[in-house]
Amino acid sequence: MVKEDKGPRSSVDMVDISGKDVVPRFAEAEGEILLKPDTVKKIRRREIEKGDVLAAAEIAGIQAAKKTYELIPLCHQIPLSKVKILFNMKEKRVVAKCSVNANYKTGVEMEALVGAAVALLTVWDMVKYLEKDEAGQYPVTRLREIKIIRKEKGAR
């Protein structure tokens, strides 16, 4: 009889949620991108070469939240009911907020975080030509404070 060599066991495992109840879930994440004041003014005036920065970032954030399970290996594929991206423009930054709703067995925090982060990355992509210095570097541009600001489980 040959003994099967199973090799080393993986140290990762997707959580089994099959025994959990389906309940309403909500999560809201936000973050910000620091930019040059002139870049923020151009976003407000819709003077960016690639087009409407906030419209593109909104669509990107929504799409990213829906595809979180494809990006984060151990996330479950969650049927999202709603994804909303909102922006708040400040003098030197753009704040993105992503809220996510679902009726499911596990939370939607990762979807909200991914939505906010990708919305901000899309802003960066669309304005990077304005943010570079003479050496092609980004001395001002930064993503900051990407975090969950609220989550709920149960009646909504």
Q: Which residues are catalytic?
A: 125
Cβ-Cβ contacts under 8 Å for 88 (sequence gap 6 or more):
94, 95, 97
CA angle at 111 for the pair 128 and 144, rounded to the nearest 5°: 40
Task: Give me the half-sphere count of Cα atoms (radius 13 Å) on the Cβ side of residue 48.
Answer: 26
Q: Which of 69, 71, 61, 67 is nearest to 15 (CA)?
A: 69
Task: Give me the half-sphere count of Cα atoms (radius 13 Å) on the Cβ side of residue 25.
Answer: 22
Cβ-Cβ contacts under 8 Å for 127 (sequence gap 6 or more):
35, 39, 42, 43, 48, 53
